[in-house]
Amino acid sequence: MDRTEKQAFVADLAQVFAQTSMVVVSQNNGLTVAEVTNLRRKMRAAGVTFKVAKNRLANLALEGTRFGGLAPMLKGPTALAWSTDPVAVAKVAVEFAKTNEKFVLIGGALGVQTLDVSGLRALAELPSLDALRAGLVGMIQTPATRIAGVLAAPAGQLARVFGAYANKDEVAEAA
């Protein structure tokens, strides 16, 4: 990388840190190309961006952002993963770390809050944003369904009474 590429990389990374809500720091010691490709594919499918970054350049990009607490974690061969959905990035990173011992989670940051590995695991156990939205919609729809059932019940009972009364005459004629 020449100087202009480095400056562009730092500017792009600083812009990412300004727009994202969650960043995970990991080390990928000895991952094969196939394993990294698999990890990138899983992260992309979850809406997560994964990038290997030089620590010095990442530290420059972190300056003045809310993710400044990540600077001590940037030692050795590090990679950064980020997303606007904090649960998605944590979930994918933790799941991949469980299946691949060469991918080591170092920590992360959720806004100004710095997280260690146990914090990332706890975050990964939470339901995703879409699952939370679906649960909320289900909770909102449940009372409406019950109200409709209560309002429809008297009409249904009345229809059953009329039906039984009509069938009573038919049963009496048949007997």
Question: Is there a contact between 85 and 128 (Cβ–Cβ < 8 Å)?
Answer: yes
| CATH (one of 3.30.70.1730, 3.40.50.720, 3.30.70.2740, 3.30.1330.60) for 3-126 | 3.30.70.1730
Question: What does each of the 175 residues of the chain score in pLDDT, given as a tens digit?
Answer: 778 888 888 888 888 888 888 899 998 888 889 998 999 999 999 888 898 888 898 888 888 788 888 888 888 888 999 988 888 888 999 999 998 888 889 989 888 888 888 888 888 888 777 777 787 787 777 776 666 666 666 766 666 777 777 777 676 666 6
Q: How far is CA 42 from the centre of its chain?
A: 12
Residue ranges per domain, the chain? 3-126, 128-175
Q: Does the global pTM surpass 0.75?
A: no
By 3-state DSSP, what share of the chain in percent is helix, strand and coil, each rounded to 5? 65, 15, 20
Sort strands 113-115 and 49-52 into parallel, antiparallel or unpaired. Answer: unpaired
Q: How far is CA 134 from the centre of its chain?
A: 14
